[in-house]
A and B are shown apart, each in its own frame.
Chain A
Amino acid sequence: MSLPELGTEAPVQARTPTALDLFMFSASSWLLHRIHYDAPFTIEHDGHPGLLIHGPLQGVYLVQTAESWLGESARLRSVSYRHLAPAYLGDTLECGGHVTAADDEGVEMELWARKPDGTVTTTGKARFER
């Protein structure tokens, strides 16, 4: 399978994790931080308006956006991501990316998750190789 060319964009995937999704992510990874499942604590202790969508879950969404587009043509070799704004339960995250470098072995991509109002919550870079 051929790899996408420089500048090509992955289709945007909208993700709206539910309270159940947040709980499953915490439970499956044994992440016990209360800001992802205990709303009164999150609001009163941490001063957030609601439960937070995990940073690492957004990292997974970024990688999935690229992986589902690239299919079997390439495999993740490295990824880095950071969080620019909080994302809360109820938020929709539009996840997308584009190819920033392409060579014989693979592609590099910039990836992002943003709210419908344009606020970018997480941004990342990844390399995929054949």
Chain B
Amino acid sequence: MGIITEEARKWADREYPPFEMHVSATDIAKFAHATGETNPIHFDRAVAQAAGYHDVVAPTLFTYVVRMHASALVPADQLEPDGSPSADVPPLPTKRAMAGETAVEVGERVVAGDVITVEKRLADMYEKEGRSGPLVFVDMEFTFTNQRGELVARETFTRIYR
């Protein structure tokens, strides 16, 4: 007997409206400092321009910032008590969530001034028995493109509910 109800199962293959993020040099600097980056290409426009870019360059996994804004930049009443965006959380009896596997294919770099569009889909959900009870795995898929239509990244991310 599983804990994924018929109602929850309807969330599989769910598509979300595309989200656009206008990426600023400030957004890039915040993420770079938060992750301890020291390469000035992320903070100093002159250094980035000397390397052939028109503005500062985002760290390689910056697309994480884009997809989190796509999920969580909503009014506070659209968040779960634990802060998770309600639109991402299928109706499950589980109370706690944690990060599972992530896989990213990297394409074009993100540069300040880019407009990145992320298309998002809840691809699948399935259940496994864990040490302390049932675990539900929810697979999300993301495709990131820039304002020129170039592929910036594809990502799959599994969130685990217990």
Residues from chain B with a CB closer than 8 A to the CB of A64 are: 35-37
Interface presence of A78 (CB below 8 A): yes
Interface presence of B87 (CB below 8 A): no
Give bound CA distance, A32 to B72, whole Å.
7
Interface presence of B83 (CB below 8 A): yes
Give bound CA distance, A82 to B37, whole Å.
22
Among A21, A45, A56, A82, which residue has its beta carbon within 8 angstroms of that of B82? A45
- Tell whether A60 pairs with B83 under 8 Å between CB atoms, given A78-B106, A82-B102: no
Interface presence of A57 (CB below 8 A): yes
Residues from chain A with a CB closer than 8 A to the CB of B30 are: 24, 27-28
- Tell whether A33 pairs with B59 under 8 Å between CB atoms, given A55-B99, A77-B105: no
- Tell whether A28 pairs with B72 under 8 Å between CB atoms, given A79-B104, A81-B102: no
Give bound CA distance, A76 to B47, whole Å.
20
Q: Distance in Å from the Cβ of B152 to the closest Cβ of chain A?
A: 13
Please choose the segment from B90-98, B110-118, B142-150 that sits at the chain A interface, where 4 or more of its residues have CB less than 8 A away: B90-98
- Tell whether A76 pairs with B60 under 8 Å between CB atoms, given A25-B34, A32-B83, A33-B82: yes
Among A31, A46, A57, A82, which residue has its beta carbon within 8 angstroms of that of B68? A31
Residues from chain B with a CB closer than 8 A to the CB of A78 are: 103-106
Inter-chain contact count A-B, CB under 8 Å?
102
Give bound CA distance, A55 to B157, whole Å.
11
- Tell whether A33 pairs with B83 under 8 Å between CB atoms, given A28-B30, A82-B101: yes
Among B35, B59, B102, which residue has its beta carbon within 8 angstroms of that of A55? B102
Interface presence of B64 (CB below 8 A): yes
Interface presence of B53 (CB below 8 A): no
Q: Kindly report which residue of chain A lies nearest to residue B70, judged by CB atoms.
A: A30
- Tell whether A28 pairs with B99 under 8 Å between CB atoms, given A63-B61, A77-B106: no
Per the 8 Å Cβ criterion, residues 34-62 of A in contact with B are 34-35, 41, 45-47, 52, 54-57, 59-61
Interface presence of A9 (CB below 8 A): no
Contact with A along B58-87 (1 / 0, CB 8 A): 011100110011001100000100111100
Question: 17 A-B pairs, CB-CB below 8 angstroms?
Answer: A24-B30, A25-B34, A25-B35, A29-B31, A29-B64, A30-B68, A30-B69, A32-B79, A45-B95, A46-B82, A54-B99, A59-B102, A64-B35, A76-B106, A79-B61, A80-B103, A83-B100
Q: Give residues in A with beta carbon < 8 Å to B.
A: 15, 21, 24-25, 27-35, 41, 45-47, 52, 54-57, 59-61, 63-64, 67, 75-83, 86
Return the 5 tightest CB-CB contacts between A and B, nearest first: A55-B99, A24-B34, A32-B83, A80-B103, A28-B30
